[in-house]
Amino acid sequence: MAHPVSPLARPFPAMPPIGGVTLRVARAGYKDWGRCDLTYVELAEGTAVAGVFTRNVCCSSEVELGRANVTQGRARALVVNAGNSNAFTGYRGREAVEQIMGQVAAHIGCGPEQVFVSSTGVIGEPLPKDKARAGIEAALVAQPCGWEDAANTIGTTDTFAKGAMATAVVGGKTVTLTAIIKGSGMIAPDMATMLGYIFTDCAIAPGFLQQLLSEANARTFSCITVDSDTSTSDTVLAFATGAAGNQQLNCEGCPGADAFAAALEDVCRQLAHLVVRDGEGAQKFIAVTVSGAVSDESARKVGLAIANSPLVKTAIAGEDANWGRVVMAVGKAGEPADRDRLSIGFGGTWAAKDGQPLADYDEAPVAAHLRGQDISIEVDLGLGEGRATVWTCDLTHGYISINADYRS
């Protein structure tokens, strides 16, 4: 990973293997960066799969095929290509994906629809079929690797490997969830974020896994933004091998279903935060909490309007408590708001209440808060019970430096 490690980075956690999951990495050479760039994950027969995908209408063939194939509910393999997004590449891009699916399916002995492929990198360059074929051949015979190797291999402009885990007790059995993700820029997922993969040994029906993943996504991945740009390749997939031996979960009333749902959302939230902490050029992690909205969804939209504002983000980068920019962002969000009921604060200190500055407002504690790395912005609309928290990072010169020469 060529860029300096983010000051907001978190160490990669110790994560145990998941029964029925085998990880391998190889060099396909999609870019000349001297490291592995192809990740191959083989999954036990009968593994359940669920997924959420980008809503960008110019999505890649990988997304189109994944969205169609996830409906059949089973997976035997995952392939992730780093260095080439293979998006906006027409029939040549689709042929490359179908070639990978067929090559892996023939090796495992499954239908190609059970092989999921993701690609990330430069848009508009077809994935080289010769490099993909050779990369898959190398991956199929490579020695199994660990989670951190796989997390590093799926990265592009990421500055640190990102992983998360959680456990839950389901029907008297302890089940484990482990996950890796890549993402640093082009982050405003209207569904998920970049490329994320969750693996569990829990036995769970595909349809119920899809329900829980979609619900977790709405409160985690769909509540983050780095730069307001939604990628053509965003994908989050969850794979459940059933190796823990618990009685299969298939409904909300099943013993342990609530515990598993909580663990899944915890892992998704951890991953979402890690992506923001690796936002391109980021120096500060920002939580925007909106309360008093007419609904939770309205609160989320107001929060994203604040989090996506370049003026708010640059003010935070400059450690400037310019709460007037938050007022502006609330007003342009397109959601119900009343100027005369609006309250705004930073780090637990209110700067304005009920539509006007506080007469005894002391900026000193706010200034001290903004000098830290973890920043909170609080907004109370004063209209209802709706509430949401979204997460973003500041906007610095580093973001420009990284993206001005992304293809070089």
Model's pTM, two decimal places? 0.92
Same fold, 21-277 and 285-404: no
56 φ, ψ (degrees, to nearest 5): -65, 125
408 pLDDT higher than 90? no
- Asked whether 48 and 206 are in contact (CB, 8 A), the reply is yes
- Residues facing 24 on adjacent strands: 40
Going by C-alpha positions, the residue among 22, 14, 284 that lies closest to residue 140 is: 22
The answer to whether 139 and 83 are in contact (CB under 8 A) is no
State the burial class of residue 407 (Cβ atoms within 10 Å of its Cβ: 0-12, 13-18, 19+): exposed
What CATH number was assigned to the domain covering residues 285-404? 3.10.20.340
Contact 185, 29 (CB under 8 A): no
Q: What is the mean pLDDT of residues 117-142?
A: 93
Binned at pLDDT 50, 70 and 90, residue 84 comes out as confident
Angle subtended at Cα 22 by Cα 17 and Cα 24, rounded to the nearest 5 degrees: 115
Q: Annotate 75-95 with b (16+ C-beta within 10 A) or e (fewer).
A: bbbbbbbbbbbbbebeeebbe
Return the domain boundaries, the chain.
21-277, 285-404
In this predicted model, what pLDDT tens digit does every residue of 300-326 receive, in sequence order? 999 999 999 999 999 999 999 999 999
Angle at 249 (CA atoms; ends 246, 255), nearest 5 degrees:
80
**Residues 348-382 as b or e (16 or more Cβ within 10 Å = b):** ebbbbbeeeeeeeeeeeebeebbeeeebbbbbbbb
Distance CA 115, CA 275 (A): 26
Q: Indicate whether 91 pLDDT > 60.
A: yes
**Residue 146: φ, ψ to 5°:** -100, 180
Read off the amino acid at residue 289. T
Give φ, ψ of 374 to 5 degrees: -105, 115
Q: What would the CATH number be for the domain defined by 21-277?
A: 3.60.70.12
Mean pLDDT of 101-106: 98
Q: Which pair of structure tokens corresponds to residue 60?
A: 């890649």
The two three-digit tokens of residue 176, written as one number: 């484990």
Q: Which residues are catalytic?
A: 193
* Mean pLDDT, rounded, for 241-268: 97
